[in-house]
Structure 1
Amino acid sequence: MSKRIFYYSIILAICLFNINTSNSNEKTLRIGLSGLPPSLGNPYSSMGLPSGHFWRSIYDALTSISSNGEVLPSLAKSWEQKDDKKWVFNLRDDIFFHNNRHLKAYSIENIFLYLKSNKAQHLYISNELKNIKNIKAVSDFKFEIITHEPDLILPRRLSLIMITDYDLWNKIGPSKYAINPIGTGPFRFVKWGKGNNSVILTSHKNNIRSSKNIDRLEIKSIPNALSREQALFADDIDLAENINHDSINQIKSMNYQIQIHNRSVILSIALPNTLHEKSPLNSHKVRQALNYAVDKKSISKYIFNELVQPASQGALEGTIGHNPTLKPFTYDLSKAKELLNEEGYSNGFQLNIAILQTRGSVQEFAFQKVQQDLMLVGIKTVIKPITPQDFINRFITNKWEDFNAFSLLWNNEPMRDVSRSVEYFSCLRPNPFFCDEKITKLIKKSKLKSTHKDRSIDLRNIMKELNDIAPSILLTSQPVITASTNKLSSIKMEPSGLNFESIVFEE
């Protein structure tokens, strides 16, 4: 008996050694993000960062946009435009959801029809499908889309729609699906942490973007930028997203890496003309005056350490529709006062600005600088942070109550095309906060173009017209800055978010 126990002890020790060795070889990437999606795993409720970092890890779209703006195949391996309103897409036949269900065309058809239905109209992403008249699976791996109006960039637009398992979505409902999300992406959901403030994902090897180096992702929501830096210094995370510009030198001095990811995103303050019948902001001269009153060069130099550019328009160079002839509004207090006086506001007026809460971000200092500058021309400015969920609700419904302006990004990602951000500042948006009939006609005209060249010309003209009527105070470009330990390399930012699957642990 004693010999048998001895042998069992040896076998157990060998097994434990093997288990520990396996775990020690498992490569876990620990990430600190500025936030996780309020809707958890529901990828249709909002768009942009930081949510996009998480969603692109779990989900794929039919197409993707490369860092240079090219439309690439993803779940769809190819597509063809049959006529000005009909497209045919061919799916890959080797894609499986994380629950091993085979992705087929009928699932694409059903999720699109759901997003177009009345019960999904509260979802942010449903607006992106409004031009789709019908979608129909014609075989297991082929489907066709018919649009109401010609849409030359439909493949680019479809990069916005993350694909979920519709059968499961329909069976358990959106709320339960959000808690246990199932996608086809490079990482598979495991569990949420306490208060849903963290999440664990594991590598999904049967994927077109599978990580060759990362076995496990641990993502923590750390809303405060300074707290993300401290977590990096304390070795609680390997990678910190959205680092402040004024922290770069300190981080480098402590032997950490800095990565600057330029994105076609412009920080601005939207100046609505539909909220109040007698609002001063209904006048384009008043809106121009506010732009002349803000010293954007100082914001770029002293707040963002010259890592950003004063904005000439709602896009960066390299974005489809960017107009290279436009220049930023000059800082000209005399011109600002002259325009205000012409419109009967020589004594200024009250301006209450809602800003999206960004804890510990230097964006707050940029908005404070805007407040100070506007006060110099008599604009009694109050800025008030509101939570992300409150902001989304107000933005969707256009119910701003006592606020008459709000912070807003001109976000041309992930499409790398100005059309979406331009529509936000138009009558075409549901519950529009800004409406100009001339701009709306130009947008509609651009959609009818049959060549990309003609469409780009139209978009550049729209950017010129928007510059003239000034629907926002344009501030600066907004890159995303990340910091990491030296053991990481190949840290890349795609238009949709951080490319976790490309990151490599250096030996």
Structure 2
Amino acid sequence: MSSLRSQGQFALRLSAVAAGGTLLLSGCSVANSESAGGATAASSDTIRVVLSQEPPTLEACEANLTSTGVVVRSNVTEPLVERNPSTGELEPRLATEWEATSDSEWTFKLREGVTFHDGTPFNAEAAAHTIERAVNSDLGCNVEGYVFGETDLEVKIVDDTTLTVSTPEPDPILPLRLSFLEVVPASTSDTEKVREPIGTGPYKIEAWDAGQKITLAAHEDYWGEKPAYPNAEYQWRSEGTVRAAMVTSGEADIAMGLGPDDGAGDLGVNYPNNETVALRLTGDMAPLDDIRVRQAINYAIDKEGIVASLYQGKDKVAAQLVPEGIVGHNSSLEAWPYDPEKAKQLVAEAKADGVPVDTKITLVARNAQFPKVTEMSQVLQEQLAQAGLNVELKTVETSQHLQYQLRPFVTDEGPIALLIQHGNQAGDAAFTVDQYMLSDGAQSAFGTSEFDEKLKAAGKTSGEDRQKAYEDIFSYQNENIVQFAPISHQTGIIGKSDSVNYEPNSSSGDELRLSEMTPAN
């Protein structure tokens, strides 16, 4: 049965789902159409950003988390090298040169004359400490599981401006991996995480008023070009319509994470986004340990209807965890078709063979994770229930969501279908599959030893061989593992005041570089 036939009914169901929120918002007018574009725009010395949620921490080794990185990365802290989001090329930051000096060793030459916000010098000792702290220690940094897995690095200080980093096995993309490490001073604790880091970036943390706002001030001794705005201020509002209204009324200059119907109007700017939404399914608990049930979930989801009704067709139906443009994306892979009858059939077959398909599956979603997340999760619950599964929806905050997202997972709530939003900022499939598909990956719910071998072999390849190896992996996952039910590749939208010059790019949702913003007048 075609997904198009049900879009009218689908839209009606979505309207009912969203009605409560609409009624709540209709009673208070927060937008002022007459002041669109920022009639009460900020003074030219402060750039004001409104986020969808308060960061749980600004700890540098957690900066790959979207809610942390959007404030910290390249603003407060900086990496050795950075990836240009438009070209995909690696560019100098705190390192000026790097080269492979053996099959498993890379040598980095560091920038001179750089100081941290506390006045201490940046040198090889600080770079080495950052790597040891984030990758080799027991601190439990998110970046360790996301980028490096179980691999430890051997770090040697040659002199103040020279560092060598070695891997147990050849790693052709080590510099790209290191682009995820935000450098902190050698004095930073390696036994406790830091809520407010000291960095080398163009801004330093001025104050964090918990629950209210975060303010940054320009680093007077910054080694690079001075930012146009001496100050920055972050606030957060969970409702997209409120964030959009803050821009149209002049209360904010930039609003993050907007949906297509949040009301930003001409101030809403679309930008390429590499975020993918999917369900991650636990494979070691019944009934999700039966591949037929996992296949049924994929058939049960009306992805085209979700994209059309919730996102006005701006997002794209997904067949895999990475979008086009990422090394390893399989362009020939087709999305699972919407086939509710097939879904029911597979669940019935599993039940006939003794699989306890009535066992409760908890669908876990996170508040304010992305636009329309509440409506999407409610629709997913309904569609999986129509396939014959017992699904309970649980919505949690960021800190609690991480307990489901990262090892060690919550284990006392039975089988979990976790709604994830995965962004591959590095541009290489290794950063997706190593964490999400290896049996012991930081965000992987299960796998097989055979699949692990395929994944590890792919990581050692380069060039065309690398592209082909990862294409095969995404195909193999859909046919033989089915840990995921991909839903959509997202398109990002920010609200931007006319008083600000800024062109968002594919990294903007995770790394909003304030130094790229300038006053328009």
State the match for 1:5 in structure 2.
Answer: none
Q: Please, which of 117, 131, 148 is the counterpart of residue 151 of structure 2? A: 131
- What is the CA distance between 1:410 and its match in structure 2? 5.5
- Assess if the C-alpha contact under 8 Å between 2:237 and 2:243 holds in 1: yes
| Local SS of the residue matching 2:338 | coil
State the match for 1:10 in structure 2.
Answer: none
Q: Please, which of 180, 205, 212 is the counterpart of residue 189 of structure 1? A: 205
Paired AA for residue 392 in structure 1: L
Q: Please, which of 457, 461, 464 is the counterpart of residue 453 of structure 1? A: 464
- Assess if the C-alpha contact under 8 Å between 1:490 and 1:503 holds in 2: yes
- What is the CA distance between 1:501 and its match in structure 2? 1.2
Q: Please, which of 102, 105, 112 is the counterpart of residue 121 of structure 2? A: 102
Give CA deviations for 1:291-312 in whole Å, capped at 9, x if unaligned.
0111100000000111100101
Paired AA for residue 392 in structure 2: V
State the match for 2:297 in structure 1.
Answer: 290
| Local SS of the residue matching 1:152 | coil
* TM-score (structure 2 length as normaliser): 0.84
- Assess if the C-alpha contact under 8 Å between 2:281 and 2:418 holds in 1: no
Q: Distance in 1 between matches of 2:472 and 2:410?
A: 31
State the match for 1:49 in structure 2.
Answer: 66
Q: Distance in 2 between matches of 1:485 and 1:430?
A: 39
| Local SS of the residue matching 1:226 | helix
Q: Unmatched 5+ residue regions in structure 2?
A: 1-41
- Residue 343 of structure 2 corresponds to residue 343 of structure 1: no
| Local SS of the residue matching 2:494 | strand
- Residue 332 of structure 2 corresponds to residue 318 of structure 1: no
Give CA deviations for 1:316-373 in whole Å, capped at 9, x if unaligned.
1100110111011111122222322332369953322111122794121111111121
Q: Distance in 2 between matches of 1:271 and 1:184?
A: 40
- Assess if the C-alpha contact under 8 Å between 1:28 and 1:215 holds in 2: yes
Q: Distance in 1 between matches of 2:244 and 2:487?
A: 26
Paired AA for residue 38 in structure 1: P
Residues 448/360 of structure 1: CA separation in 2 closer, same or farther (3 Å cut): closer
State the match for 2:339 in structure 1.
Answer: 332
Q: Distance in 2 between matches of 1:427 and 1:46?
A: 24
Q: Distance in 2 between matches of 1:283 and 1:506?
A: 57
Give CA deviations for 1:153-207 in whole Å, capped at 9, x if unaligned.
111111111111122x139x745x424x2101121111112x2531111223544
- What is the CA distance between 1:133 and its match in structure 2? 3.3
Q: Distance in 1 between matches of 2:384 and 2:234?
A: 40
State the match for 1:72 in structure 2.
Answer: 91
Paired AA for residue 148 in structure 1: P
Paired AA for residue 113 in structure 2: D
Residues 351/341 of structure 1: CA separation in 2 closer, same or farther (3 Å cut): same
| Local SS of the residue matching 1:115 | helix
Q: Please, which of 275, 287, 295 is the counterpart of residue 280 of structure 1? A: 287
Residues 25/317 of structure 1: CA separation in 2 closer, same or farther (3 Å cut): closer
- Assess if the C-alpha contact under 8 Å between 2:274 and 2:506 holds in 1: no
State the match for 2:364 in structure 1.
Answer: 354
State the match for 1:20 in structure 2.
Answer: none
| Local SS of the residue matching 1:288 | helix
- Assess if the C-alpha contact under 8 Å between 1:66 and 1:494 holds in 2: no
- What is the CA distance between 1:83 and its match in structure 2? 2.0
Q: Distance in 1 between matches of 2:437 and 2:98?
A: 31
State the match for 1:6 in structure 2.
Answer: none
Q: Distance in 1 between matches of 2:256 and 2:111?
A: 33
Residues 257/208 of structure 1: CA separation in 2 closer, same or farther (3 Å cut): farther
The structure richer in helix per residue is 1
Q: Distance in 1 between matches of 2:243 and 2:410?
A: 33
127-136 vs 384-393, which moves further? 127-136
Q: Distance in 1 between matches of 2:52 and 2:236?
A: 6
Match runs of 1:232-251 below 5 Å: 232-247=247-262, 250-251=263-264
State the match for 1:164 in structure 2.
Answer: 184
- Assess if the C-alpha contact under 8 Å between 2:318 and 2:488 holds in 1: yes
Across the aligned residues of Structure 1 and Structure 2, the Cα RMSD in angstroms comes to 2.3
State the match for 2:163 in structure 1.
Answer: 143
Paired AA for residue 251 in structure 1: A
Fraction of identical pairs, as percent: 21
- Assess if the C-alpha contact under 8 Å between 1:264 and 1:316 holds in 2: yes
Q: Distance in 2 between matches of 1:174 and 1:166?
A: 14
Q: Distance in 2 between matches of 1:280 and 1:331?
A: 21
Residues 465/197 of structure 1: CA separation in 2 closer, same or farther (3 Å cut): farther
Q: Please, which of 433, 437, 442 is the counterpart of residue 445 of structure 2? A: 433
- Assess if the C-alpha contact under 8 Å between 2:135 and 2:153 holds in 1: no
Paired AA for residue 231 in structure 1: M
State the match for 2:30 in structure 1.
Answer: none
- What is the CA distance between 1:426 and its match in structure 2? 2.2
- Assess if the C-alpha contact under 8 Å between 2:319 and 2:336 holds in 1: yes
Aligned residues: 468
Q: Distance in 2 between matches of 1:459 and 1:466?
A: 10
Paired AA for residue 204 in structure 2: R
136-145 vs 421-430, which moves further? 421-430
- Residue 433 of structure 2 corresponds to residue 417 of structure 1: no
- Assess if the C-alpha contact under 8 Å between 1:59 and 1:184 holds in 2: yes
| Local SS of the residue matching 1:126 | helix
| Local SS of the residue matching 1:498 | coil
Q: Please, which of 85, 89, 92 is the counterpart of residue 108 of structure 2? A: 89
* TM-score (structure 1 length as normaliser): 0.86
Q: Please, which of 224, 228, 231 is the counterpart of residue 239 of structure 2? A: 224
| Local SS of the residue matching 1:396 | coil
Residues 208/334 of structure 1: CA separation in 2 closer, same or farther (3 Å cut): farther
